[in-house]
Amino acid sequence: MTSVSKSLTGSVEAKCRTPSTSNSSGVRETSRLIARIRHRQFGVFVTTSCIGSQAYQELVEDSQPIIVMAGIDIVRVLKEHGLGTPSSLRSWLEGLEVRVL
């Protein structure tokens, strides 16, 4: 059997915003990520709010290799892992602090 080593490089842009359609991440924020992935293979755009329709449409139309994770996606993943309440999330995060220290 032959072993093949592959390298994967990417770039991440994250925005912490109050969840609201009037407070979405837009073209300016996604453009920064697009500029940084020029020589990389892909990008990940994470926002605690949502991504504006124009910004999302441009990513799709230009076939940008970018994964978008919006606030609703973060909530879904947390719920899938039993962290759907503030108290369960707080307990989990406090457990991480103990392991890191």
Q: What CA dihedral angle connects 37, 64, 23 and 19, to 10 degrees?
A: -90
Tell me, what CATH number does 82's domain have? 3.40.1350.10
* pLDDT 10s digits, 49-97: 999 999 999 999 999 899 999 999 999 999 999 999 999 999 999 988 7
Q: Is residue 54 in a domain? A: yes
Its domain, for residue 21, covers: 11-100
Q: Is residue 2 in a domain? A: no
Residues 6+ apart with CB under 8 A from 56: 68
pLDDT at 96: 87
Q: What is the pTM of this model?
A: 0.77
* pLDDT 10s digits, 2-52: 666 677 788 999 999 888 878 899 998 899 898 888 766 899 999 999 999
Q: Is residue 4 in a domain? A: no
| Structural domains of the chain, count | 1
Token pair in block for residue 58: 């441009």
